[in-house]
Amino acid sequence: MRWTDLGAACPLYTVTADDGIYWASSARALAPLTDVAKLRGNADLSGVLKRLPGLLSHATNHAHALGAPRAWAMVAEAYSTVYWLAARHRWMGLAELAVLKQRLAAERADPLTAAVAARDHAGTFLNSGDFAGGLAIVDRAITQAESSTQGRDKSLSLGVLHLRGMTLAGRMGDKAEAERHKIAAWRMVEEFPYEVDLHGIQFGPENTAIHVVATSADLEQHRDALKVMDDLSRRTLTLPATRIGPLHMNVARAKLALRDRDGALESLVNAWDAAPQMAKVHPTSQELMRVLISLHKRSNPLLVKLAKKAGVSV
């Protein structure tokens, strides 16, 4: 996977004569994937669900017709979106099937696509609580990416893998391992002063900082999490709702741990405002709601507003 414009909102594939790929320059071929990517970025879960069957059919037929690596990368990206949607809803059986299909397509695509497939594969272990198993997948994928990629593709592959590794290590409570992945991820960020957002691949300084907030909360380094959030709040974030919503949820976790109930509630409201469909099904959001309702002994306008959105009685 090569870029002709890394700093653009949607980097363009370079069409090369050696592999005979022409679909990347075709708006008709890319349109379904681009449309679903926008819905995913907006955390429009219902919109993604409606469009996925058509996208999978389109991408699969296109790949079988062309047989080209980049056409199979399109299939892998489609199944990555299936995994994303299934993971949000905790449909674990579908998530595991999706990453299997994604990995099979990635084997016929390119090394960067394979790295993203490994990230999502490790994500199924994260969702099931097998953090050590997920880290083993990440480590193998990092070794593979080191030898199979080069240039910006290498930095991007390693970057997304180290972010997954940091998350897994944080959930496992391994501070040293989380720090190792965090340092490596920041090193990869040096290649990307601006966020890269390409059909489910998001990497750059903002996304890395958002992962640091979440991992700091997992490691009970709550003041560190809020410090990173304070730094982020001084800039205009460019990441889509699908990343901003979880950011506010993790900030709410940190504030609640520090006994700032009102601040936690405000951050949870921000998460709902940014990504309401995601907040409604996300386990972190649901748990925060339950805790805040149990702690508040009197009516709170923000809590009442949030509970109404969630359909929960206060």
Distance between start and end Cα atoms, the chain: 51
pLDDT in tens, 140-175: 999 999 999 999 999 999 999 999 999 999 999 999
Inter-residue contact 72 to 109 (CB < 8 Å): yes
The set of residues, in sequence order, having a beta carbon less than 8 Å from that of 76 and lying 6+ positions away, is 102, 103, 105, 106, 109, 113, 116, 117
CA distance 268 to 61: 42
- Residues facing 13 on adjacent strands: 3
Of 123, 134, 132, the closest CA to residue 99 belongs to 123
Per-residue pLDDT of the chain (314 residues; tens, 9 = 90+): 333 232 333 332 333 433 344 434 345 667 889 899 999 999 999 999 999 999 999 999 999 998 999 899 999 999 999 999 999 999 999 999 999 999 999 999 999 999 999 999 999 999 999 999 999 999 999 999 999 999 999 999 999 999 999 999 999 999 999 999 999 999 999 999 889 987 668 899 999 999 999 999 999 999 999 999 999 999 889 999 999 999 999 999 999 999 999 999 999 999 999 999 999 999 999 999 999 988 886 678 888 888 888 877 76
The set of residues, in sequence order, having a beta carbon less than 8 Å from that of 104 and lying 6+ positions away, is none
CA distance 116 to 122: 10
Three-state secondary structure call for residue 198: strand
What is the pTM assigned to this prediction?
0.89
